[in-house]
């Protein structure tokens, strides 16, 4: 087995040795909320939002998109397991924003190889493995990210099965400060 595999299993053995009363946790989230956020490695929703085990559902995909699967998960969270507030949390410097759609689509449609973009100064993207693919990326402003989270919240809200009055808070996580920035124009309380 690999080094990563051995490290994960060793860390898990230490965690389970101190498991304590967590063995008594109930299935429904104790604090009755759910978070939809990005898979980005820099984000730890439990730490940045103060979650203990058992508190809240966490749904993650590339870009914190309102995919059918994310909406399915949110509906299950609400309908079967009783969450009553949802947070949609995008973040600054998201790969899904840094890589243009055509790069992603091309890779997902055809190539089996890895592409790594050129390193823009100060972004740290170039620490990734592999040869550069010779593409440059654009930096996105907070305004763009705020608009993206507003669009995702709107798409969730417009799903006909989404409960009409559940609050959906739109936020952006700043990877440089760890701070959640409220996006009031994205937050949506009800269709009415």
How many residues bind its own copies (CB under 8 A)? The answer is 102
- Only one residue has tokens 């593409």, namely 135
Q: From start to end of the chain, where are the E strands?
A: 33-38, 56-61, 85-91, 168-173, 180-182
Of 10 and 185, nearer to its own copies (C-beta) is 10
CB of 40 to its own copies, least distance (A): 7
CB of 168 to its own copies, least distance (A): 11
Of 79 and 141, nearer to its own copies (C-beta) is 79
Restricted to residues 46-75, the positions that interact with its own copies (CB under 8 A) are 46-51, 53-62, 65, 67-70, 72-73, 75
- Only one residue has tokens 């409220």, namely 182
Restricted to residues 146-175, the positions that interact with its own copies (CB under 8 A) are 161, 163-164, 167, 169, 175
Site string for its own copies, 14-33 (x = CB under 8 A): xxx--x--xxxxxxxxxxxx
Note whether 139 and 179 are within 8 A (CB): no
For residue 56, the SS3 value is strand
CB of 143 to its own copies, least distance (A): 20
H helix intervals, 40-191? 45-49, 68-79, 95-98, 101-109, 142-158
Restricted to residues 82-111, the positions that interact with its own copies (CB under 8 A) are 82, 84-85, 87, 93, 95-96, 98-99, 103-104, 107-108, 111
In angstroms, the CA 125 to CA 144 distance is 20
Among 6, 118, 182, 185, binds its own copies (CB under 8 A): 182
Instruction: Count how many Cα atoms sit within 13 Å of the Cα of residue 184 in the half-sphere of its side chain.
Output: 0
**Contacts of 130 by beta carbon, 8 Å cutoff, 6+ apart:** 114, 115, 116
CB of 189 to its own copies, least distance (A): 10
Restricted to residues 113-142, the positions that interact with its own copies (CB under 8 A) are 113-117, 123-125, 127-130
């Amino acid at each position: 087995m690999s080094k990563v595999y051995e490290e994960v299993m060793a860390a898990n053995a230490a965690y389970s040795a101190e498991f304590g009363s967590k063995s008594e946790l109930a299935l429904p989230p104790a604090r009755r909320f759910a978070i939809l956020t990005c898979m980005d490695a820099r984000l730890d929703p439990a730490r940045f939002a103060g979650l203990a085990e058992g508190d809240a559902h966490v749904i993650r995909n590339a870009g914190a998109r309102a995919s059918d699967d994310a909406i399915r998960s949110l509906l299950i969270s609400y309908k079967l397991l009783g969450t009553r507030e949802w947070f949609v949390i995008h973040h600054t410097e998201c790969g899904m924003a840094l890589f243009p759609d055509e790069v992603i689509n091309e890779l997902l449609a055809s190539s089996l190889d890895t592409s790594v973009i050129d390193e823009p100064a100060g972004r740290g993207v170039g620490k990734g493995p592999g040869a550069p693919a010779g593409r440059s990326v654009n930096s996105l402003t907070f305004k763009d990210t705020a608009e993206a989270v507003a669009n995702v919240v709107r798409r969730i809200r417009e799903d006909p099965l989404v409960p009409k009055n559940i609050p959906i808070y739109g936020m952006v996580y700043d990877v440089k400060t760890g701070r959640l920035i409220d996006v009031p124009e994205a937050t949506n309380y009800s269709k009415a």
